[in-house]
Amino acid sequence: MTKVLLIYPYFQTGKNPDVLFPPLGLASLSAQLREKNLDTMKMDCTFLTKPKVIESSVSYSPDIVGFYIMTTMSKNALDLLKAIKKAMPDCIFVAGGPLPSLYPSKFAEKFDFVFKGEAVVSFAEFCSDYHLSKSKDEFFAKMDSHRYAGIFSKSNGLFDEPVMHLSEQQLNSLPIPDRRGFPHEIYQIQSMQISKKKTTTIMMTYGCPHHCDFCSKPIFGDVLRIRSLDSIFDELKDIVSYGYDSVWIADDTFTCNTTFLKNFCERMLVEKLGLSWSCLSRVDRMDAETYRLMKDSGCNKVYLGIESGNDEILKLMNKGTDKAMIEHAVSAFHHVGIACCGFFIVGYPGETIKTIEETFSFALSLGLEQATFNLPYPLPGSKLYERVTGLYRDEWNFEDWNFENEPTFLFESEFDPKWMQQRIEETMHAINPSHSESA
């Protein structure tokens, strides 16, 4: 029987104590692999040590090892790759997730294959075809890359297949993510310490039709797709069965389609699962009835991409919002009793000290429960990246790209990062003293 090991190479650092969730990407891949009757093991490294991960990986004796990788995880992934490869050189090593999707060529130097984008169907197809082959050599020799959307390789034939975004029909026919075997109890204890809730993530809609200047959508792209309520509620019931009492809807813009949003809230009222929920929300499009329905159906918090306290900078960021809309939305959420947390970006190319200070003042004026300030992060695929790419300080080396919440400019900026960090800390402390102490 072919064995597939899936690794989430994040080790708890204590730097980011408020947000830890079982890796949903691995759970989605595992469910699809099991549907194909493949033996699958999920290795969530969060609460493990590197030696333990290496030992368990080797003793499982996999044929294919897949790594999820995002910005903060390249070094861990490459360390584990090296150690596991040394012990089991004949395995097929595959990278997927946001960072390899953006830099397939870089990752293909180290891994046999990279899968870009929503690879859940194509990766399972790949593993299943391997399983049906007589040997690794035969599999490689006969491989037809067109069968695997998003596959990229340098060492095993040169190919670069376009990604495929799954249709709503395909999404609805996928099995619900396989959450078995994750250390739910530890996640829940940590979550309780921070929010007095046992929270995990779920995705209900995929893709985002907005075009913010700084955003790159390496996995789910521009086209909004919405899962059926039946499949969503099957998954919510499964989540409840693990002891969770709250979900963080991790969709890029959950409130984008108000018809779906209202239908979801109404079904929540009917199903009575005892779940509270929070989500990322836009500040436009919603009416008073929707805010009320959200609250009544269990929404206790929304995260808003507010970004700036200056209308010109909001235009530059192509947010499609302005300060008045933001103020209106925050006060409407507060009116029904939903807490608001804000995400801001300071030091955007085109800003001045004055506009940055306007953002800090605006953040202070809104009565937010929490605010996060980030320096601009030029992700490939974003308009911002196209503008500042020539400004990158050094040739990017993905083995070094291993920082978490580090207040550093990745390009030459006129703003002093130390000053910026000090103003960020002062503002965060003024908004929520307890949160900034733990951050």
Binding site for ligand B12 (CB under 6 A): 10, 16, 19-21, 23-25, 28-29, 66-68, 70-73, 94, 96-99, 102, 115, 118-120, 123, 201, 203, 218-220, 250, 252, 379, 404-405
Q: Are 73 and 38 in contact (CB under 8 A)?
A: no
Q: Minimum distance from CB of 15 to ligand B12 (Å)? A: 9
Cβ nearer to ligand B12, comparing 81 with 268:
81
Q: How far is the CB of 327 from ligand B12 (least distance, A)?
A: 26
Write the single-letter amino acid at 86: K
Least distance in Å: CB of 288 to ligand B12?
Answer: 28
Measured from the CB of residue 97, what is the shortest distance to ligand B12 in angstroms?
4
- Inter-residue contact 63 to 3 (CB < 8 Å): yes
The type of residue at 85 is K
Strand order in the sheet with 113-115: 39-44, 3-8, 64-68, 92-96, 113-115, 151-153, 159-160
Residue 50 burial (CB < 10 Å; 0-12/13-18/19+)?
middle
Nearer to ligand B12, 174 or 339 (CB): 174
Contact in structure between 89 and 112 (CB atoms under 8 Å): no
Closer residue to ligand B12 in complex, CB, 11/233: 11
Closest CB 201 distance from ligand B12, rounded Å = 5
Choice between 235 and 245, CB closer to ligand B12: 235
Residue whose CB is less far from ligand B12, 208 or 368: 208
Q: Looking at beta carbons only, is 70 or 326 nearer to ligand B12?
A: 70
Asked whether 328 and 292 are in contact (CB, 8 A), the reply is no
Task: Choose between 104 and 309: whose C-beta lies nearer to ligand B12.
Answer: 104
Shortest distance (Å) from residue 335 CB to ligand B12: 27
CB of 289 to ligand B12, least distance (A): 27
Total residue count of the chain as it appears in this document: 439
State the minimum distance, in angstroms, from the CB of residue 21 to ligand B12.
Answer: 4
Of 48 and 336, nearer to ligand B12 (C-beta) is 48
| Closer residue to ligand B12, CB minimum distance, 125 or 357 | 125
For the CB of residue 377, give the shortest distance to ligand B12 in the complex, in Å: 7
Nearer of residues 102 and 247 to ligand B12, judged by Cβ? 102
CA of residue 278 relative to chain centroid, distance: 15
CB of 28 to ligand B12, least distance (A): 4
Kindly tell me the sign of the dihedral angle through the C-alpha atoms of 241, 246, 251, 253.
positive
- Cβ closest to ligand B12, residue 226 vs residue 379: 379
Q: Which residue has the tokens 């395909």?
A: 170
**Closest distance to ligand B12 from the beta carbon of 292 (Å):** 26
